[in-house]
Amino acid sequence: MARVLFYTGACLLALSAALLYLPTYFSFIIAVILFILLITLIIFHKKLVFKGLKTLLCIVLIFTIFGIYTNEFKIKPAEKLVGYKAEIVGTVTEFPAEYENYTVYIIETEKITLIQENGKPVAENIPQKLKLRLSDINSIGADVFDKLQLEVLFNDLDIYRNTSLANKIYAGGYVEGLVANLGENRPFYAVFYDLREAISDLIYRNINFDDATVVTAVLLGDKEYLDPDFEKDSKVAGITHMLVVSGMHLGIIFQLLSKLFSALKLWRGTAEILMLGAIFSMTAICGFTPSILRAALTYVIIVLGNLIFRKPDSLNSLGAATIILLFINPLGFGNLSLLLSLLSTFGILFICPFLEENILSLISKAYSPGKITKAITFSVSQTLSATLATMPVCILGIGYISLISPLTNLLTGYASTLLTVFAFISVILLCLPSFLKAAAFTPALILCALVRYIVKVTDICADIDFASVPALNEYLISLGLFILIIPILILAKKFNTKKAVRIFLKITASTLVIFSVSSALFFYNASPKCEIAIPDVGRGTSVIIKTNTDVLAIGTGDALTDYNKIESHMFKMCSQSIDHIIIPTANKSFAAGAPEMIFQNPHAKVVYPNRGEYIDKLNYISNNNFISFDYKISFKLESAEVITFADTGTVVNFNSLSLIVYTGKGDLNSLFKVCSHTKPVLICADNLTQQIEYEVSQCIISGSDKARSNIEQALKKQNIDFRAVSPKTISIKF
Query: What does CATH list as the number for 531-733?
Result: 3.60.15.10
Q: At 458, is the secondary structure helix, strand, or coil? A: helix
Give the pLDDT confidence score for residue 190 in this predicted structure: 84
Averaged pLDDT of the chain: 85
Give the pLDDT confidence score for residue 583 in this predicted structure: 95
Give the pLDDT confidence score for residue 212 in this predicted structure: 92
- Is it the case that residue 473 has pLDDT exceeding 50? yes
Distance CA 219, CA 196 (A): 10
pLDDT in tens, 687-698: 777 889 999 999
H or E, element range at 707: helix 705-717
CA Rg value for the chain: 28
CATH 2.40.50 fits 83-187, yes or no: yes
pLDDT in tens, 639-679: 899 999 999 999 999 999 999 999 988 899 999 999 999 99
Give the pLDDT confidence score for residue 429 in this predicted structure: 87
Q: ∠518-522-524 over CA atoms, to 5°? A: 120
Higher pLDDT, 430 or 706: 430
What phi and psi values does residue 98 have, to the nearest 5 degrees? -100, 130
Give the pLDDT confidence score for residue 675 in this predicted structure: 95
Give the residue from 344, 332, 342, 246 showing the smallest Cα distance to 288: 246
Distance CA 500, CA 168 (A): 55
Distance CA 389, CA 240 (A): 16
Q: Mean pLDDT, to the nearest integer, of 287-296?
A: 81
* Proportion of the chain above pLDDT 90, given as a percent: 24
Decide if 164 contacts 106 (C-beta within 8 A): no
Classify residue 83 as left (phi > 0), alpha (psi -120 to 50) or beta.
left
Distance CA 116, CA 113 (A): 10
- Is it the case that residue 120 has pLDDT exceeding 80? no
- List strands edge to edge, sheet with 551-554: 626-629, 605-609, 580-582, 551-554, 543-546, 531-534, 730-733
Question: Residue 82 — very low, low, confident or very high, per pLDDT cuts 50/70/90?
Answer: confident
pLDDT in tens, 30-60: 888 888 877 877 776 655 556 677 888 888 8
Distance CA 519, CA 480 (A): 11
Distances (CA, A) of 659 to 389, 548, 589: 39, 16, 19
pLDDT in tens, 187-208: 887 888 888 888 999 999 989 9
pLDDT in tens, 515-535: 998 999 898 888 888 999 998
Termini Cα distance of the chain: 54
Distance CA 556, CA 569 (A): 14
Q: Mean pLDDT, to the nearest integer, of 528-545?
A: 88
Give the pLDDT confidence score for residue 1 in this predicted structure: 47
Give the pLDDT confidence score for residue 110 in this predicted structure: 92
H or E, element range at 338: helix 336-346
H or E, element range at 107: strand 103-115
Distances (CA, A) of 630 to 205, 554, 614, 634, 646: 49, 17, 15, 12, 7
Asked whether the bond before 187 is cis by omega within 30 degrees of 0, the reply is: no
Distance CA 411, CA 374 (A): 15
Q: Which residues contact 215 (CB under 8 A, 6 or more apart)?
A: 203, 207, 419, 423, 447, 451
Alpha carbons within 13 A on the beta-carbon side of 59: 22
Give the pLDDT confidence score for residue 107 in this predicted structure: 92
- Is it the case that residue 378 has pLDDT exceeding 70? yes
Distances (CA, A) of 419 to 423, 425, 665: 6, 10, 55
Decide if 723 contacts 701 (C-beta within 8 A): yes
Dmax of the chain from CA atoms? 86
Higher pLDDT, 641 or 715: 641
Give the pLDDT confidence score for residue 164 in this predicted structure: 67
**Within 10 Å of residue 29's Cβ, how many Cβ atoms?**
13
- Is it the case that residue 162 has pLDDT exceeding 80? no
Give the pLDDT confidence score for residue 220 in this predicted structure: 87
Q: Output DSSP code: residue 224.
A: T
Higher pLDDT, 615 or 299: 615
**Within 10 Å of residue 683's Cβ, how many Cβ atoms?**
28
* Proportion of the chain above pLDDT 70, given as a percent: 95
Give the pLDDT confidence score for residue 457 in this predicted structure: 94
Q: Which amino acid is at 495?
A: F
Q: Mean pLDDT, to the nearest integer, of 239-264?
A: 81
